């Protein structure tokens, strides 16, 4: 299998960590989405990453679709078998991915619009969602009682992206992030290899 990815992409980090944790043999290939290379467009008409190309050549895209595919391929190593525990992991994943969506919207607004056209109210709205999400994480500590799950990988990927693009702007909103990352890395020592990097 192969994952098409970008080193800065938090969604790429999430699925690459999950594949590693699940013990699946997956190659990784960097693609530049701005260039719309044929390998990417042929496997995802949306031109987004990450994309997983399975052993039989099937293309799976969207990080949640990929991570659930990896869970099935590994015999359930990424989500608990207990329905309530699995729902908890999936909700954590949805929260982490949702905060990440807001961060990316924030970055893209500043990166792709001329300075005079940047819409400050839009940036403020996205950041308000980020702040509410991080405050939620602070008041609802993350549990590892069911082991490392897809939710934890999404959250660790979010933390890496916050460090990469928003250092100094978010830490007071989620002061327990250090404890989460310490516990996560004790269970997944390869974390530094997969963090988003520019």
Is pLDDT of 31 > 90? yes
CB contact at 8 A, 123 and 106: yes
**Residue 78 counted as domain residue:** no
DSSP 8-state secondary structure symbol assigned to residue 4: E
C-alpha span between 173 and 176 (Å, rounded): 9
Q: What is the pLDDT of residue 118?
A: 87
C-alpha span between 30 and 153 (Å, rounded): 20
pTM: 0.96
Of 42, 73, 104, which residue constitutes the final position of a domain? 73
Instruction: Report the CATH number that the domain containing residue 23 is assigned in CATH.
Output: 3.40.30.10
Clarify whether residues 41 and 96 are in a common domain.
no
Domain that holds residue 36: 2-73
- Which tens digits make up the pLDDT trace of 126-149? 999 999 999 999 999 999 999 999
pLDDT-based confidence at residue 155 (cuts at 50, 70, 90): very high
Of 73, 95, 123, which residue constitutes the final position of a domain? 73
Instruction: Supply 131's token pair.
Output: 């702040």
**Nearest 5 degrees, angle CA 166-CA 196-CA 113?**
55
For the chain, the domain total comes to 2
Clarify whether residues 42 and 103 are in a common domain.
no
């Amino acid at each position: 299998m192969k994952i098409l990815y970008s080193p800065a992409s938090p969604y790429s980090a999430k699925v690459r960590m999950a594949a590693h944790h699940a013990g699946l043999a997956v190659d990784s290939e960097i693609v530049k989405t701005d260039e719309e290379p044929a390998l990417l467009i042929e496997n995802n008409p949306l031109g987004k990453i990450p994309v997983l190309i399975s052993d039989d050549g099937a293309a799976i895209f969207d990080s949640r679709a990929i991570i659930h595919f990896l869970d099935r391929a590994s015999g359930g190593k990424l989500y608990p078998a207990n329905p309530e525990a699995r729902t908890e992991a999936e909700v954590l994943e949805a929260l982490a991915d949702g905060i990440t969506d807001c961060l990316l919207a924030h970055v893209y607004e500043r990166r792709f619009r001329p300075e005079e056209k940047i819409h400050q109210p839009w940036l403020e709205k996205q950041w308000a969602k980020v702040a509410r999400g991080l405050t939620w994480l602070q008041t609802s500590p993350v549990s590892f009682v069911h082991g490392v799950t897809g939710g934890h990988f999404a959250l660790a990927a979010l933390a890496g992206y916050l460090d990469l693009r928003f250092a100094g702007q978010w830490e007071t909103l989620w002061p327990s992030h250090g404890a989460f990352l310490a516990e996560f890395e004790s269970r997944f020592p390869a974390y530094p290899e997969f963090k988003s990097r520019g």
